[in-house]
Chain A
Amino acid sequence: MWDNIKILIDAPLFTLDMVINGLLIGAVFALIAYGLALVWGVMNVKNLAQGDFVILGAYVAWTLFNWGIHPFFGVPVAFGVLWVLGWIVYKTVVYRVIEHDLFTSLLATFGVAIVLQQSMNLIFGSDEQTVSLGMESMSFFDNVVTIQPTRLIAFFAAILLAIAVITFMKRSRMGQAIRATSQNPRSARVMGIDTEKVYAFTYSLNAAICGAAGALVAVIWEFQPYIGLIFSIRSFVIVTAAGLGNLPGVIAAGLGMGVLEQTGAFVLGTQFQQAIVVGMLLVVLLVKLILASRHRQVVEQ
């Protein structure tokens, strides 16, 4: 491990490679985290099925690819498919647990996660899949810094998607309704906003965002039905670190996580990648705890 750290210090270009790659995938993380924060902020539901929505989106894109359709189209299709699924999940499960205590909603979404996970396993099998477009990596600085064009494309796609969603939230009526509801549902209702519709819309939107992100994940990574949980935990780490309602924080944390994961995987070994993500969650919670205890309080939500 120390040798690896030494390499990073001695070869700044190599570190640059880690950083750049980290940022590229971090954008996708940030996107997924944004969706989680949206649902969390609007209806106080911590969606443990987040990662599984992403993986499902990946499978959608992968299936299309197998039918000869280019993943470019996979993104909007996955968006649409997951929107519908999100709406179904909301109407059957989430809607009934919104008013209950937080553990109930957590457990309910965990149940959804298990259903999705296992269904995907049954339908698609547990082998690792990916969508390979066969593009050549681009290399700079004597092959020290290599960037896969797919990652670059995914990066920009994630940014475009994020911009689209944020603009929607700012400009459209529904977007404003969502923001009003997240601040104060009761006042929103008094103002004539149909909070039920807002909740359903928000949850579906989140699922759709995950689907689109999933289509991107299909292209840049390998995936299988069971890595959804790690994506969910990743998003939790980002949102917990950044805090709700802190969009720049979510972006920064997402990018930061990408970089940390890349470098961490290099320094400690790729078999620790999942452990790193979970480790980060514990660190973030610990830090929150220490900060809160200075103020005689506890980590509450």
Chain B
Amino acid sequence: MSHESIIEVENITKTFGGVVANKNVSLKVKKGGITGLIGPNGSGKTTLFNSIVGYHPIDGGSIRFMDKEISTYRVQEIARLGLLRTFQQTRIYGKMNCVENMLISIPLRKAGFLDMFAARDKEILERADRLLEFVGLYEKRWLRAGDLSFGQQKLLEFAMALMNEPTVLMLDEPTAGINPTLINGLIDRLKRANEEFGITLFVIEHNMRVIMNLAEHIYCLAHGKMLADGKPEEIQNDQRVIDAYLGAH
């Protein structure tokens, strides 16, 4: 068990009814780095994410996070260990304003019973403001989250994740549905989160330009199985990957 890998997935399989979504998938996410996960539609990427964060049980295999076996842990426990994910269809708390969304996203690793009744803390508010500034939502911070545009909600979800001080952040298609002119800004922020805050990133992406630019190591899934992995240049030129994508269209 190498301490370089913060997540180690070994031979996991997940079936839904008759469909095998993931079959014997193994991968390692390097601590402190940015790892990518690509593959044509329906290859089982989101299922893999869901399995890792505890959304559903796996049929077989092992998932280790910081050397702990987490395959039987529940979502909340895994989140409190420091492994967070964002959703493809961005999820935020619609009826609360942005600041409140941030305040409720504070890390709860050491939260005791009485912490439930804590009043609003000035330091926490300042941190929320700084992170909202970081993602560019400072001016809109008092708006109701549900009233934001789709792109703004994505940024909010990202800010909320950062607020939680995760060790690893798994992002499910962070640039999907975003205006192309804003994508560079998002990539920039992701890189800064990784470099400045030291958060390991594990990213599912469809946008090849983005993921090749961002990730240090990329895994490619196809038909539920691991097809290939390697550095971006290797993956780009891997015939199997090209075939998988072409074949899928």
Contacts and interface: CB of A to CB of B under 8 A. Distances in A.
Interface of A: 295-297
A42 B11 CA distance: 40
A297 B54 CA distance: 10
Contacts of B57: 295-296
9 contacts: A295-B56, A295-B57, A296-B54, A296-B55, A296-B56, A296-B57, A296-B74, A296-B75, A297-B56
Contacts of B75: 296
Nearest to A294: B57
B46 to A, nearest CB: 17
A297 B57 CA distance: 9
A144 B207 CA distance: 77
A297 B56 CA distance: 7
B13 to A, nearest CB: 16
Contacts of B74: 296
Interface string B47-70: 000000011110000000000000
Contacts of A296: 54-57, 74-75
A296 B75 CA distance: 8
B94 to A, nearest CB: 14
Contacts of B55: 296
A295 B74 CA distance: 9
Instruction: Report, nearest first, the 8 A-B pairs whose CB atoms are least far apart.
Output: A295-B57, A296-B57, A296-B74, A296-B54, A296-B56, A295-B56, A297-B56, A296-B75
Nearest to B56: A296
Nearest to A295: B57
Contacts of A295: 56-57
A296 B55 CA distance: 7
Interface string B171-186: 0000000000000000
Nearest to A297: B56
Given A295-B57, A296-B57, A296-B74, 6 more contacts: A295-B56, A296-B54, A296-B55, A296-B56, A296-B75, A297-B56
B187 to A, nearest CB: 33
A14 B141 CA distance: 72
Interface in B54-100: 54-57, 74-75
Nearest to B74: A296
Contacts of B56: 295-297
A12 B57 CA distance: 45
B170 to A, nearest CB: 17
B51 to A, nearest CB: 11
A296 B57 CA distance: 7
A20 B238 CA distance: 70
A296 B78 CA distance: 12
B167 to A, nearest CB: 21
Contacts of A297: 56
A295 B51 CA distance: 12
Nearest to A293: B74
Interface in B175-231: none
Interface in B1-58: 54-57
Nearest to B75: A296
A150 B67 CA distance: 69
A246 to B, nearest CB: 16
Nearest to B54: A296
B47 to A, nearest CB: 14
B77 to A, nearest CB: 10
A296 B58 CA distance: 10
A183 to B, nearest CB: 15
Interface in B129-169: none
A296 B54 CA distance: 8
A222 to B, nearest CB: 47
A295 B57 CA distance: 6
B12 to A, nearest CB: 15
B190 to A, nearest CB: 29
